[in-house]
Structure 1
Amino acid sequence: MKYTIDKSIFKLKPNIKFGIIVGHNIINSETSDEDERRLRNAENKMRNEVSQEQLRELHNVKNYREVMTETGINPNKYPPSVEAMFKRIIKGGRLPVINALVDLCNAISIEQGISLGGHDLKDIHEDLEVRFSRKGDIFLPFGCEEYEDVQENELVFTSGNVVQTLKWVWRQSELGKITLDSSDIFFQLVGFEYEKDSSLYNAMEDIESLIINRFKGNCKKYLVDIHNNSIEF
């Protein structure tokens, strides 16, 4: 299977980078006390260090919003999912406990301030792309059973004509959601630097460690950027 970034996206933001991790044989579980503790600690740290006024100036959030604006998506109406999550936390809310893999990925997303999406590969049957939508693309909203048509020329993450994430990093589909039965997962992270101690580098290292040590699986990591816009896995 291939994963490709439309080259036009690098014209908008030449330094944008997509970190990909493909995990296999993952043994997910209910959330343990230790798992939840990491999530709550991440929430508390963000709450103590970031004000609501500073949220949109966080490095990655600011860049996500810029890309969305450049592609015609209003980030005030359709904020990056991490911005909405961070806002909820800063205002005093707590994320619900779902399962160990989802909760720990949320913890990493908060710790590193980065967009991090996991997609169950059992629901993905065609090549993956980050591209602009075209006629015939469809989307299954979370919790729904009927597909919706997708507006043309909108930045999306898609498998064939089935959109996995609508309006780029705004909303994930019902397809690919991670459950206790999920074992083969495609992780997509979006950052703007990739060197030691950058948010993208650290988040990828953390996910790799979780897959191997917490969930007893294995994985491969890839970096997709302006110099290499496509991979096969």
Structure 2
Amino acid sequence: MTQSRPTMTVNPLTISNSETVAKRFPGVHVLGVKLSFETLTNVSWEAEIEQLHQRWIGKSRSDVLNSVKQQPYAEFMTALGLKVKKNPPSVANLITRCLTNEAPRLPRINPIVDAVNVAALQTEVSLGVFDAACVEGELQLSFSRAGESFLGLGAEKAEELADGLMVLRDQKKILSIFSVRDSQAQAISEKTKTVWLLACQVPGVSRDDTVTGLMRAVHNLEMIRDKHD
């Protein structure tokens, strides 16, 4: 495996919450850092995935949702009116798809996405990574308005959102349904050079744990930076 360099020192920013979000959910925050890359190298995450697989093999979806670190996200999704079996928290969904079957399987998407997905599995903190060039203006955590358009990653067509879903947006569009699904609009590609790396904190998840998840992702991203850049 590629040897890591010392993880860069970063100071996470707290993304602003709308007035309504701040009033209704004072324990909810998104922490973020902006990182740049020149060239990337592929890293095999097989050893990390195999170690994680030993913990989750044979577990049911309910086992995952009710686990110590995933239960706060599941309870928060329920408090927002979401059905967690239909729209599970992102990390619980990743664990269920990748680690509970007989053979572990981490879909290889892009070196950046893969590194962040592994960090999410390692720390069980809900993480996201956006192509910063596709983000217009400031980020904010707010609620959706009925009829707003959202094209989720992997979706064939956009959907109209219901009123009152917690979303992360920029000045022009919705970027993600909070801790559930990201938009196609800011998807990482082979042309991505700068990213927003984000971590979601909900009631029951401490800021320290959220920062740990973010820093693990930074560490993993350092591992894929080409040693000769």
Q: Give the alignment's TM-score, normalised by structure 2.
A: 0.77
Residues 129-156 of structure 1 show CA distances to partners (whole Å, capped at 9, x for unaligned) of 2111114632123245754332222111
Higher RCO structure, 1 or 2 (CA under 8 Å, sep 6+):
1
Instruction: Select the residue among 41, 55, 63 that pairs with 1:46.
Output: 55
Shift of 1:11: 5.1
The size of the alignment, in residue pairs, is 208
Deviation sequence 1:138-192 (CA, Å, 0-9, x none): 21232457543322221111223522113x2222111111122211111111132
CA distance in 1, matches of 2:55, 2:110: 21
State the Cα deviation string for residues 7-33 of structure 1 (Å, max 9, x = none).
44455554434221111235334x33x
Match 2:200 to one of 171, 190, 207: 190
| Residue 86 of structure 1, CA deviation | 0.8
1:170 maps to 2:180: yes
In the alignment, is residue 78 of structure 1 matched against residue 87 of structure 2? yes
C-alpha separation in 2, matches of 1:160 and 1:148: 19
Matches within 5 A, 1:56-135: 56-88=65-97, 89-92=99-102, 93-135=104-146
- Say which is worse superposed, 135-144 or 184-193, in terms of deviation: 135-144
Q: What amino acid is aligned across from residue 91 of structure 2 in structure 1?
A: V
Name the SS of the counterpart of 2:187 in structure 1. coil
Structure 1 residues without counterparts, runs of 5 or longer: 218-233
TM-score by length of 1: 0.76
Identify the structure with the greater strand proportion: 1
Task: Return the offset for 1:119.
Answer: 0.6
Contact 2:126/2:179 (CA < 8 Å) preserved in 1? yes
- The equivalent position to 1:28 in structure 2, one of 24, 28, 40, is 40
**Cα deviation, residue 216, structure 1:** 6.3
Bigger Cα displacement from structure 2, 180-189 vs 147-156: 147-156
Conservation of the 8 A alpha-carbon contact between 2:141 and 2:169 = yes
Shift in alpha-carbon separation, 1:4–1:201, aligned structure 2, 3 A: closer
1:4 is the counterpart of 2:16: yes
Q: CA RMSD in A?
A: 2.8
Q: Percent identity?
A: 19
Gaps of 5+ in 2: 1-13
Q: Is the contact between residue 28 and residue 181 of structure 1 (CA under 8 Å) also seen in structure 2? A: no
Quick one: structure 1 residues 4 and 12, their matched pair in 2 at CA, closer, same or farther if it must change by over 3 Å? same
- Where does residue 220 of structure 1 map in the other structure? none
